[in-house]
Amino acid sequence: MILPQLELHKISNTFENMTHKHDNQYQLTIPMQGTCFFTHEHKPVTLSAGEGLILQPRDSHSFHIENGASVLIIRIKTLDSNNQSHRMPEEFRLRQTFDIGKVADYYQQWASELLVPDRLDPMAVDETESRILAGVEELLWGDSSRKTCRENQPGPDFHYSRVLEYIHAHYAEPINVDTLASMAMQSRYHFIRSFKSITGLSPYQYVLQRRVEEAKVQLKRTGKTVTEISFELGFASTSQFHRAFLKNVGMTPERYRNEMRI
C-alpha cells in the first residue's frame, strides 16, 4: 500500500531480497511471526517477532524470512527541515521491542482505511496518511507523542478564523490539507488534530459537510442533475456524493429532492 509520504508492506512466508537502500526513506521493519534474518550495513541481525529495527535513509540492507514467518515494513519519506513532526532521530537506528498485538491492531485499522472508496479524494488521502503517521509515532514514542500533540494544539484564534474563511470560500474546489495547515502555522498532523478539537470534525469531514449543505440548496432550488451538482461542488465522484449526502442527511439526494417538492 503506497501513499505520497509512506508505504506499508506486509510480507508473509518465504521471501528474500537483494541488498539495497532507500535514498529518501526511513524504514521500520517489525517481524509479526517467526524470525526475520536481516543484514544491516553488511552486519547480520536476527529479529524475533516484535523486535523491530529502524533504518535511516541510505542504510544498505536486505532480509529473508522462511515459511510461516511474516514481517511488516513501514517506509516513511524524509521531510524538509521546516517540518520536524515525523523526523526520526539517530538513536532510533537501534532495535526496539513492539507490542505485536498493538501493531497488528494498527495494521488492520490502516488497511481498512486504505480500502475505502474515498481514497480518490486527495484530501481524504492526506488525512488517512496523517492518521497512519500518528499511529507510527505512537508505536515509537508512546505517550510522549500524545503530550507533544496536546502541547501544540492552539485554541480557536485568528489563524483558524482564516482557515474557516478559506474553506467557506473554496469548498467546491480541490483543497489541500497542507495549504490549510500552513495557514494555521502547524504541521499537517497537528493541524488535523487541532481542527477536529475545535470544530468536532476533521478538515475533510468539514469540507464534505459544507458541500452537502450547498447540495441541499441546489437540489431544492435548481433543476440540475445529481451528477452536475456532484461535480460542481467538488466531489471526486457521484458515488462519493451519495455516500456523503446519505451520511449527513439520512437519505439519498434523489429522495431529498422529491420530498422537498411535496
- Along the chain (262 residues), what's the average pLDDT of each consecutive run of 10 residues? 89 95 94 96 95 93 96 83 47 78 93 74 86 88 55 60 95 93 89 91 95 96 96 93 95 94 72
Fold match between domain 6-86 and domain 209-260: no
Name the pTM for this structure.
Answer: 0.75
pLDDT of residue 80: 43
What ranges do the domains of the chain cover? 6-86, 209-260
pLDDT of residue 262: 64
pLDDT of residue 84: 45
Decide which of 3.30.70.260, 1.10.10.60, 1.10.150.130, 3.65.10.10 is the CATH code for 209-260: 1.10.10.60
Residues 6 or more apart whose CB falls under 8 angstroms from that of 104 comprise 32
pLDDT of residue 125: 86
Q: What is the CATH number of domain 6-86?
A: 2.60.120.10
pLDDT of residue 238: 93
pLDDT of residue 146: 52
pLDDT of residue 158: 66
pLDDT of residue 81: 38
pLDDT of residue 58: 93
